[in-house]
Amino acid sequence: MARLKTAILISGRGSNMQALVDAAADPDYPAEIVRVVANVPGAGGLDRAAAAGIATTVIDHRNFDGRAAFEDALHAELTEAGVEMICLAGFMRLLTAAFVERWLDRMINIHPSLLPSFKGLQTHERVLAEGVRFTGCTVHFVRPAMDAGPIIVQAAVPVLPGDDADSLSARVLTAEHRCYPHALRLVAAGQTSIVDEIVTVAGAAGPTGIAVNPDDGVS
């Protein structure tokens, strides 16, 4: 079985990257992580990737004159590495429509909310300020608009009395680490198709969701 050659783009600690790398350590997993790229020198995830034997590259956006030049370098690096699929995992640069088009339906992202609610930053603070009872995370195909695109997998996570942004973030992150490898598996195995910007999963009766029990973690 040919495994889908996948790059992970990070800007920070890389815990979602680690979850993907761990999943792909299984030779039966349908994606292979061939490269980790960071736009931030010293991003914590770089050491974690190197420790797992994954080739890493730093492309510091501050060294480029504008987004297009940065993205051209990124695209060249990915193409040279034979990358077929991109996973954004805490990658904190907005990508231009031109780059998104180049990787259309071959680039996915994880966001720590139940999209389309709570796009953008400070997600958990805003969730708490609104008093919603459930939040979660979403893995979706990337489209030019920020945190938008066909949804592959979501997990619902309860907001509990007494939560602060840190405790909620930690609970959601546990779900993220389950959702992302699951979503990449579905895509890499060819089980997803997009019709009218809705993802259907072969063999699934409906949308793919993961429910989270606050007492026993992700189920």
Q: Which of 84/176 has CB closer to ligand GRF? A: 176
User: Least CB distance from residue 205 to ligand GRF, whole Å?
Assistant: 27
User: Least CB distance from residue 13 to ligand GRF, whole Å?
Assistant: 4
Catalytic residue among 61, 75, 111, 182: 111
Q: Which of 12/72 has CB closer to ligand GRF? A: 12
Contact residues toward ligand GRF (CB under 6 A) are 10, 12-17, 89-90, 110-112, 173, 176
Taking Cα atoms as reference points, which of 118, 116, 99, 135 lies closest to residue 9?
A: 99
User: Least CB distance from residue 65 to ligand GRF, whole Å?
Assistant: 27
Q: Which of 14/181 has CB closer to ligand GRF? A: 14
Q: Residue 212 contacts by C-beta under 8 Å, 6 or more apart in sequence?
A: 136, 155, 156, 157, 158, 171, 174, 175, 218, 219
Give all strands of the β-sheet with 107-111 in edge-to-edge order: 56-58, 31-38, 4-10, 85-88, 107-111, 134-141, 151-158, 209-213, 217-218
- Position closest to ligand GRF via CB: 90
CA atoms within 13 A on the CB side of 144: 6
> Can 75 be counted among the known catalytic residues?
no
Cite the active site residues.
111
